[in-house]
Amino acid sequence: NLISVGGGLYIESNAALTNVDGLASLITISGNLHIESNAALCEASVLALAAGWTVSGSQQISNNRGTCP
């Protein structure tokens, strides 16, 4: 299980991405976090998951327009 990212995490412009459930065990990101412009991704789910992460750099979570369950 992935618990730490030793740099930035960027997930951007992936029209087919519907969830980020694979990041559920993530605890720390030692850089920037950008999850943006993913047409099928539910932003509320991403925000809820990211609330439990410690991010050293900037955070940008926006324009994820998927239907939320």
Q: Are the CB atoms for 27 and 5 separated by under 8 Å? A: no
Give the whole-angstrom CA distance, residue 69 versus residue 57.
29
pLDDT tens per residue across span 22-60: 999 999 999 999 999 999 999 999 999 999 999 999 999
Question: Above 90 in pLDDT, residue 13?
Answer: yes
Q: Which residue has the tokens 């992460």?
A: 53
Planar angle of CA 54, 55, 56, nearest 5 degrees: 120
Give the whole-angstrom CA distance, residue 54 versus residue 65.
24
Question: Above 90 in pLDDT, residue 69?
Answer: no
pTM for this entry: 0.94
